[in-house]
A = this chain, B = another copy of it.
Amino acid sequence: MAALDPSLIRDLPPFAGMATEELADLLQRARALRQPRGATVFEQDGEAHSFFVLLDGHIRVVRTTPEGQQVTVRYISEGEIFGIAAALGRTTYPATAIAAADCVILAWPTAQWAELSTRHPALGANTYKTVGGRLQDAHTRVVEMSTEQVEQRVAHALLRLVNQTGRRTEDGIEIDFPITRQDIAEMTGATLHTVSRLLSAWESRGLVSSGRRRVVVVDPHRLMLIAESRERE
């Protein structure tokens, strides 16, 4: 296999503060893979054989209940590490990861985590920092679910997506991968019907512009007002 170039990953958060030789050492043990939209990268309760870094594309992480209800736990963007069950003392993945767009991914065998993270302490530190951020994000979601109405939650979710993955267009900021009403519903604990109604209403007020698998936030400022406005007090 052709060696991958350290410059590929040098600027990604998981590898911050690492020397070029360290990056080369890491890359040498990595396997690169492509996943088309809709492909499953790993499966809930499956053995955690690998951990990953997303080079390009977007990944949706989904938890499925015993009753078959799906809840989107988070979206992974370019440059993020994911599937790190092993670093947290798990042996199986707690959720399913699905490519929300065509993806390019680096994968390392879970078995090497211990060795790699001690040999490259920066990797461990960066990873745990990420985990800390995700724990906070999760708590933030719990707080939102507890205190906000559906309208605010959907507005917050869109703003988060736009911040994370927004791409400027002439109309406004577009979410950079195909996303359905159903997806948004699974992020916010609403139904796709309610999400559809909200988007329609916002569209007619000029806040967003959306279509089939496509959402553009036209007026982030006014959307922010909705997100922050009169929660239950």
Name the B residues within 8 Å of A90 (CB-CB): 132, 136
Q: Which partner residue on chain B sits nearest A69 by CB separation?
A: B147
Using an 8 Å CB-CB cutoff, how does the interface string of A172-200 with B read, 1 for contact, 0 for none?
00000000000000101100000000000
A162 to chain B, nearest CB (A): 21
B88 touches A128 (CB 8 A): yes
A146 touches B67 (CB 8 A): no
A167 at the interface (CB under 8 A from B): no
7 sample A-B contacts, Cβ–Cβ < 8 Å, listed by A number: A69-B233, A73-B143, A85-B132, A87-B128, A89-B128, A135-B135, A138-B142
A76-107 contacts to B (CB < 8 Å): 85, 87-90, 94-95
Partner of A65, one of B65, B134, B143, B145: B143
This chain: how many copies in the complex? 2
Partner of A139, one of B85, B88, B94, B188: B94
Beyond the given pairs A69-B231, A146-B189, 20 more chain A to chain B contacts, judged by CB atoms under 8 angstroms and listed by A's residue number, are A67-B147, A67-B231, A69-B143, A69-B233, A71-B142, A71-B146, A85-B132, A87-B128, A87-B132, A88-B131, A88-B132, A90-B132, A128-B128, A128-B131, A131-B132, A131-B135, A142-B142, A142-B145, A142-B189, A146-B188
A125 at the interface (CB under 8 A from B): yes
A205 at the interface (CB under 8 A from B): no
Partner of A94, one of B88, B136, B186: B136
A139 touches B138 (CB 8 A): yes
